[in-house]
Amino acid sequence: DVKVTQSSRYLVKRTGEKVFLECVQDMDHENMFWYRQDPGLGLRLIYFSYDVKMKEKGDIPEGYSVSREKKERFSLILESASTNQTSMYLCASSIRAGGAYEQYFGPGTRLTVT
Amino acid sequence: AQTVTQSQPEMSVQEAETVTLSCTYDTSESDYYLFWYKQPPSRQMILVIRQEAYKQQNATENRFSVNFQKAAKSFSLKISDSQLGDAAMYFCAYNDMRFGAGTRLTVKP
């Protein structure tokens, strides 16, 4: 079974802090994604990556950056956390690009910025 | 850009009965894929069913089936013989990156 893990289930940070969210998948998937999930808005794509060291902006990249130094690991970075970044963050992976493939999701990180 | 609309924020169904969740989307492409995902409370999101747009036949997976109307850009999910374990948020998705706002399904015993 594909397993996608995220470094924390719950995280509380202060405004202005630099925040790292880590995601690891164990099935050699090419694609990895970061979403944020907010009530009434569903999942919105922040960034995705088709390969190591490659990244593409999604719909809401402002205030975020990503890093993919190894195929299995995709990190989301909040350079200077703000209260409007309080949300549930979901990481996902899929076998390859093209839109046809099922995504496998991590358990999510609920981030609170105070 | 493609958009996905789920017009029912919440739905309720009696155990053992049938419920249909609605999804519409907007696209100018002819080849694409549609998905329904389920997110149980405090658990990971999982795939329920997938539909390929070039296939006219509606996808089915046990108690889950879809009604895919390509011309109308509609992709509804039917859950038959609802079970308590079906209670979850359900998300419709277009290809691999475009999700709707979700429908929260409650199953009443």
Q: Which residues pair with B103 in a beta bridge?
A: B90
Q: Write the residue in B32, B50, B91 that is nearest to A42 by C-beta.
A: B91
Checking if the pLDDT of B16 tops 80, the result is yes
Rg of chain B, C-alpha, whole Å: 13
Lowest mean pLDDT among A18-22, B5-9, B55-59, B105-109: B55-59
CA of B90: which chain A residue's CA is closest?
A: A42
Contacts of A58 in chain B (CB under 8 A): 97
Who's near B62: CB < 8 A, 6+ residues apart? none
Which has more pLDDT, A33 or A100? A33
What is the per-residue pLDDT across B68-101, written as a single tens digit (0 to 9) for each? 999 999 999 999 999 999 999 999 999 978 999 9
Checking if the pLDDT of A94 tops 70, the result is yes
Checking if the pLDDT of A2 tops 80, the result is no
Closest CA to B48 of A102, A13, A54: A102
User: Are A100 and B46 an interchain contact pair (Cβ–Cβ within 8 Å)?
Assistant: no
How much is the mean pLDDT over chain A? 94
